Structures are given as C-alpha cells and as structure tokens.
Amino acid sequence: MSVIKRETKETTIRVEVTPSGPSRIDTTVPFLDHMMTTLARYSGLGVDISATGDLRHHIIEDVAIAFGLAVREESSGAIARFGSAVIPMDDAVVECALDLGGRPFYRGPLPSSLYDHWMRSFSDHAEATLHLMVRRGTDRHHIVEGGFKALGRALAQAVVATGETPSTKGNVRVSR
C-alpha cells in the first residue's frame, strides 16, 4: 500500500494505491472523479483519493502528482514494467504505451489542456514513459476517457509481479 499526502496553500490531496481492492474517489471535480474511477477500474488497482482545493486546475494537477508518486512507490520491484492498450470508445480510438522503468517522458496530446497536463504530471511523478496516441475521434469526452481507460489497462499489465528484475541493467538504485 502506498499513501501520498500532498498539502499546499492551494490544495489538500490524499491518494492511497493498493494492488487490488475497492476504490473511493472524491476530488470535488466531477469529471476528474469520473476519470479516476475509470482509471482505477481498468487498472485493477485499489485507489482511494480525497482532494480539495481552490481551483479546478490545481486539484487536477495535484491529484496527478500524488497519484503518480503513489504508482511509482507501489510499482517498485520485480514487475512486468511495460503495458499497452488500444481502447475504442464510440467515435474515439486511443492507444497507450507505458513503461514504469524510471524514465519520465510524456507524448500526447489529449484534446483537453487540463487532462493532457494531468497525463504529463502523472508521467513525471510516476517516472514513467507514457505515450498516448489518439488514432481518431471528435468527441473530446470520449477521447479523454479513452486515454484514461487505455492508461488503466496498460497499468494493469505493467504492475504485474514477475519475480524478475525488469531491466537488462539489473537492479537500478537511486539515492536522493
């Protein structure tokens, strides 16, 4: 279980991630609640999030930061590391390729600056390489939701325990 608490003068965020279990999401931002519930469902992770803050942008960004840190902490060790998924959602088709190997990189974009920023903030703090490719679609809601579903499916694959070091470099240790 990984618990991240992030408090600033703008937001108060608490994120708990477990390998499985129920999810409870309350961010005070209805669309973010919907996306995080979707992400939790498709990843198979237990996700408990509570968030309050002054502006929608600050809440969305800080939830991404805290969730990324929690995923990074929860996925250290002998995991599959890689995951990918293609998700069709009505008019939209979105593909995600993910590597939890400790090298942050994000390439999108999603057609929503707030949720594209969510993906970048998640990637940076999970120390994940994340590629989202929007293959087609015109409805922004469907494209963004397809991105969260695809990320969820890719996470489900990447966090599977394998018993083996997920790198040809062996165990990589970083001290801060």
The 10s digit of each residue's pLDDT in 50-91 is 999 999 999 999 999 999 999 999 887 789 999 999 999 999
* Inside any domain, residue 135: yes
Half-sphere exposure in the Cβ direction for 77 (13 Å, CA): 9
What is the residue type of 68?
A: G
What total number of domains does the chain contain?
Answer: 1
* Inside any domain, residue 79: yes
* Inside any domain, residue 171: no
d(CA 38, CA 57): 19
The 10s digit of each residue's pLDDT in 107-142 is 999 999 999 999 999 999 999 999 999 999 999 999
d(CA 98, CA 77): 16
**Residue 134 lies in domain:** 2-158
d(CA 85, CA 130): 12
* Inside any domain, residue 166: no
pTM, two decimal places? 0.94
Query: So what's the pLDDT on residue 163?
Result: 78
CATH of the domain at 145: 3.30.230.40
* Inside any domain, residue 85: yes
* Inside any domain, residue 175: no
